[in-house]
Amino acid sequence: MKRAFKLKGEYIKLGQLLKAAGLVSMGTEAKAVIEDGEVLVNGEVELRRGKKIVVGDVVAFDGEEISVEG
C-alpha cells in the first residue's frame, strides 16, 4: 500500500518517520527493523536509524510504501 507523509520541517529521521507513519509502535521496534535490513529508502536497504529523510524520498517497510511530500 502506498501513501503520503507530509513533512513539516526540512527532514525527519528514518526511525521517527516509521513511528510517525504508524509502521512501528515504539522507537525500539524501529531500531530493530532498521538494523535487520527490513527498511528500504529509495529502493535500497538503509541500516541507519538516524538517516535524514527529505521530500521526494520513498520509504518501504512491511508491504507499506511511504512517499515523503513537502
Span 48-66, pLDDT tens digits: 999 999 999 999 999 999 9
Residue-wise pLDDT tens digits, 8-63: 999 999 999 999 999 999 999 999 999 999 999 999 999 999 999 999 999 999 99
The CA–CA distances, whole Å, from 7 to 14, 43, 61, 69 equal: 12, 20, 18, 6
Q: Look at residue 1 and tell me whether its pLDDT is greater than 90.
A: no
CA torsion 12→67→7→10, rounded to 10°? 60
* CATH classification at residue 61: 3.10.290.10
The domain tally of the chain equals 1
Nearest to 13 by CA among 46, 62, 61: 46
Kindly report the pTM of this predicted structure.
0.94
pLDDT of 50 reads: 97
Instruction: Give the range of the structural domain holding residue 27, as residue numbers without chain letter.
Output: 2-69
